[in-house]
Structure 1
Amino acid sequence: MKALFLFLCFLFLFTISAAEEDAAVRDTDGDHLMAGNKYYIVPTLRGSGGGLLLSDYNSEGCEITVAQSGDKRNRGIPWSFHPADPAQTHINISESLNIKSVYPVACTGSIVWRIGSADSASEGQLIQLAGSLGDPSCWPYTTTWFKIEKGKYQNSYKFVYNPEDICPEATEDSNLSIGVGSGARTLVLPFNSRSRAFDFGIFKVRGSDRAYVQ
Structure 2
Amino acid sequence: MKATSTTNVFAIFILFAFISFHLPSLATAELLDTDGDLIQNGGLYYILPVFRGNGGGIGRTTTGNETCPLTVVQQRSEVDNGLPIKISSLALILYLYEGLPLDLSFSAVPLCTPIPSRWTLVKGLLGGKGATVKLTGFYENEVQGWFEIRKHLDDYKLRFCASSNNNCVDIGVKRDDEGNRLLVATEDNPFVVMFKKAKSSYSA
Length-normalised TM-score, structure 2: 0.75
The one of 176, 181, 184 aligned to 2:180: 184
The one of 2, 18, 32 aligned to 1:26: 32
1:176 aligned counterpart, secondary structure: strand
* 1:39 maps to amino acid: Y
| Greater strand content | 2
Percent identity over paired residues:
24
The one of 77, 89, 107 aligned to 1:102: 107
Q: Distance in 2 between matches of 1:68 and 1:144?
A: 22
Q: Distance in 2 between matches of 1:109 and 1:160?
A: 23
CA shift for structure 1 position 141:
9.1
* 2:193 maps to amino acid: F
Q: Is the 8 A contact 1:35 1:81 kept in 2?
A: yes
Q: Distance in 2 between matches of 1:73 and 1:122?
A: 33
CA shift for structure 1 position 88:
1.9
Asked if residue 68 in structure 1 is aligned to residue 74 in structure 2, the reply is yes
Count the aligned residue pairs: 172
Q: Is the 8 A contact 1:158 1:200 kept in 2?
A: yes
Q: Distance in 1 between matches of 2:129 and 2:79?
A: 26
Question: Runs of 5+ in structure 2 lacking a partner?
Answer: 1-25
CA shift for structure 1 position 34:
0.5
* Residues 67-146 of structure 1 aligned to structure 2 (within 5 Å): 67-85=73-91, 87-110=92-115, 111-120=117-126, 124-130=130-136, 143-146=144-147
Rg: which structure is higher?
1
CA shift for structure 1 position 161:
1.8
CA shift for structure 1 position 108:
1.3
Length-normalised TM-score, structure 1: 0.72
Q: Is the 8 A contact 1:36 1:81 kept in 2?
A: yes
Question: Counterpart of 1:173?
Answer: 168
| Greater helix content | 1
Q: Is the 8 A contact 1:100 1:113 kept in 2?
A: yes
Q: Is the 8 A contact 2:136 2:142 kept in 1?
A: no
Q: Distance in 2 between matches of 1:177 and 1:143?
A: 19
Q: Distance in 2 between matches of 1:70 and 1:122?
A: 25
Q: Distance in 1 between matches of 2:124 and 2:77?
A: 25
* 1:185 maps to amino acid: R
Deviates more, 1:23-32 or 1:102-111: 102-111
Question: Counterpart of 2:150?
Answer: 149
Question: Runs of 5+ in structure 1 lacking a partner?
Answer: 1-18, 132-139
Question: Structure 1 119/141 Cα, relative in aligned 2: closer, same or farther at 3 Å?
Answer: closer
Question: Counterpart of 1:3?
Answer: none
CA shift for structure 1 position 118:
2.2
Q: Is the 8 A contact 2:148 2:160 kept in 1?
A: yes
Q: Distance in 2 between matches of 1:38 and 1:29?
A: 14
* 2:169 maps to amino acid: S
Deviates more, 1:66-75 or 1:53-62: 53-62
Q: Is the 8 A contact 1:121 1:181 kept in 2?
A: no
